[in-house]
Amino acid sequence: MKIIILITCVFFSNIFSKSLDEIQKEKNIIIAVYENFPPYSYIQNGVIKGIDVDIAKKIAKKLNVKIKWYWFSSDENLEDDLRNVIWKGHLIHKTKADLMFRVPYDYNFIRQTDKSTGELSNELSVMKSPYHAERWVIATNKKTIPIIKNLAIFKYHTIGVEIDTLPDSYLGTSFKGILQSNIKHYRNIKDAVKDFKLGKVDALAGLKTQLEFYLDFSNNKDKYYMSKKIGYARSKWDLGVAVRTDFRALSYEIDGQIEDLYKTGEIKKIFMKYGVSYEKPLVYQNN
């Protein structure tokens, strides 16, 4: 899979992001999705799949253009991802995407300023079109842990977590670090799920969407318990898309399309296709 992704990126060497007019004229759009990130975007038996992939295909069909996929892995933070994918280009192949998926939609982040200059740190990127509310949760096998009332239970039970994530940090500092000996760290959540299914850890902490997907939770609710959040940590946020700030016409077009997909229930159907429960974006929850 890694080889396929690298070849794809090299093939698009020196391709730059385009305006809406250019996209429609050239009949193609470069769409960036995270590599190997089920159920949002991944390759299985040579076939590109995922929630973001399916939404992207609907957008491309509406625009009457073909998709050129730009696969990328996450950098140290979102600001680096936006810089490398949207407005500056990759350090090696210089590719810029027209549209980037699975961007946390955060107004405070959008308005974040550089402390030395006072200028907007992310002024070259526009974050738009929330399409799902993601959250951190804890999953358990009901025979071992029927329900979680508070995190103190992990003084006596083990919990698997992907390293360098918010749950990793939060659990590690809870109760003055007393839970650390029972926290099992993994390079990725897929490995943690594997050990969980084998009974090597008693619980999992991770993204709700990923845990539902890997555990086939919709068909195993009698077997697994899933919390609504993790302690008092900020555990819920919207996911949207990003484009370059000078291509606002494109952002408005995408915004309108995703809103239509939300209103018609098409996005919800896509989530259900992957066995994942859909959560209305926070920006729509008062509507």
Question: What local confidence, expressed as pLDDT, does residue 110 receive?
Answer: 44
pLDDT at position 282, please? 87
Confidence of residue 123 (pLDDT cuts 50, 70, 90): low
CB proximity list for 146: less than 8 A, separation 6 or greater: 140, 225
Average pLDDT of the chain is 86
Q: What is the pLDDT of residue 189?
A: 96
Q: How confident is the model at residue 99 (pLDDT cuts 50, 70, 90)?
A: very high
- Distance CA(219)–CA(222), nearest Å, equals 8
Instruction: Give the pLDDT of residue 104.
Output: 86
Which one, of 191, 189, 187, 185, lies nearest residue 171 by Cα? 185
pLDDT at 29: 96
What confidence score (pLDDT) does residue 76 get?
67
pLDDT tens-digit map of 211-230: 999 999 999 999 999 999 89
Q: Percent of the chain scored above 70 by pLDDT?
A: 84
| CA–CA distance, 107 with 220 (Å, rounded to integer) | 36
- Among 19-23, 124-128, 255-259, where is mean pLDDT lowest? 124-128
Q: Would you place residue 267 in the very low, low, confident or very high pLDDT band (cuts 50, 70, 90)?
A: very high
Give the lowest-confidence range in 69-83, 108-122, 166-180, 193-207. Answer: 108-122
Q: What average pLDDT does range 116-125 have in this prediction? A: 47
**DSSP conformation letters of the chain:** -HHHHHHHHHHTTT-----HHHHHHHTEEEEEEETTBTTTBEEETTEEESHHHHHHHHHHHHHT-EEEEEEE---SSHHHHHIIIIIS--TTT----SEEEEEEE-HHHHT-B-TTT-SBTTTTEEEEEEEEEEEEEEEEETTT-S--SSGGGGGTS-EEEETTSHHHHHHHHGGGGTTGGGEEEESSHHHHHHHHHTTSSSEEEEEHHHHHHHHTGGG-TTTEEE-SS-TTS--EEEEEEEEETT-HHHHHHHHHHHHHHHHHTHHHHHHHHTT------GGGTT-
**Domains of the chain and any CATH numbers:** 2-133+237-284 (3.40.190.10), 135-226 (3.40.190.10)
What does the radius of gyration of the chain's CA atoms come to, in whole angstroms? 20
Structure-token match 């550089």, residue found: 114
pLDDT in tens, 31-76: 999 999 999 999 999 999 999 999 999 999 999 999 999 999 887 6
pLDDT over 70 at 116, yes or no? no
pLDDT band at 91 (very low <50, low <70, confident <90, very high): low
d(CA 159, CA 138): 9
